[in-house]
């Protein structure tokens, strides 16, 4: 049985109670696995340092069985957190992620902090051996091309869904079976 908690980092304007996060948490609870979804600070005008600090407060256990899930802005936040910690984890599932530039229509000063500065690609590959990303052709918040670019740069397996939008409530995503399936596969896979 998987003992290490799973950590999920939500995105811009979101919370632990939004989208498919409560559903995933409940599904994993039935399997005896805790999913921790910290409510990130000031989600309407986020800044990188407080978001990293929030993860530091909430991520109690990191080891080679740890799995992180990131959604949207939570993807780059998760990567920066893992790189800062420098600890190897089992893997990461990144949904509608982006890096290097903010592809969203909303351009707030704080958002630049998340994408500013290089990501050490080799270190990401070393610290996160199992990596998968999901995007949708019809994502109207983080265009599929931005997620595809991130996946290519970080050598991450990319799953492209024909429909799904940004995988949020508005798009009908209060459940996300594909993420659950990927998570179950990741937990089962050998180091």
Q: Indicate which residues carry an active-site annotation.
A: 72, 139, 166
Inter-residue contact 147 to 81 (CB < 8 Å): no
Contacts of 122 (CB under 8 A, 6+ apart): none
Give dist(CA 111, CA 29) in Å, integer: 33
Residue 109 structure tokens: 């000063």
Contacts of 109 (CB under 8 A, 6+ apart): none
Beta-bridge partner residues of 123? none
């Amino acid at each position: 049985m998987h003992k290490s908690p799973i950590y999920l980092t939500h995105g811009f304007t979101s919370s632990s109670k939004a989208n498919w996060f409560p559903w995933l948490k409940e599904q994993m609870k039935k399997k005896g696995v805790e999913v921790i979804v910290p409510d990130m600070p000031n989600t309407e005008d986020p800044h990188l340092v407080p978001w990293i600090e929030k993860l530091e407060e909430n991520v109690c256990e990191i080891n080679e069985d740890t799995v992180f899930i990131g959604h949207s802005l939570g993807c780059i936040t998760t990567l920066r957190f893992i790189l800062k910690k420098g600890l190897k984890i089992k893997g990461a599932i990144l949904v509608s992620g982006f890096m290097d530039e903010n592809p969203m229509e909303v351009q707030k000063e704080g958002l630049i902090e998340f994408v500013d500065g290089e990501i050490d690609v080799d270190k990401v590959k070393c610290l996160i051996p199992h990596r998968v990303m999901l995007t949708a052709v019809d994502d109207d918040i983080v265009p599929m091309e931005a997620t595809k670019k991130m996946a290519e740069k970080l050598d991450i397996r990319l799953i492209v869904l024909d429909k799904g939008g940004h995988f949020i409530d508005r798009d009908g995503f209060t459940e996300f079976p594909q993420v659950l399936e990927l998570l179950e596969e990741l937990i089962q896979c050998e180091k």
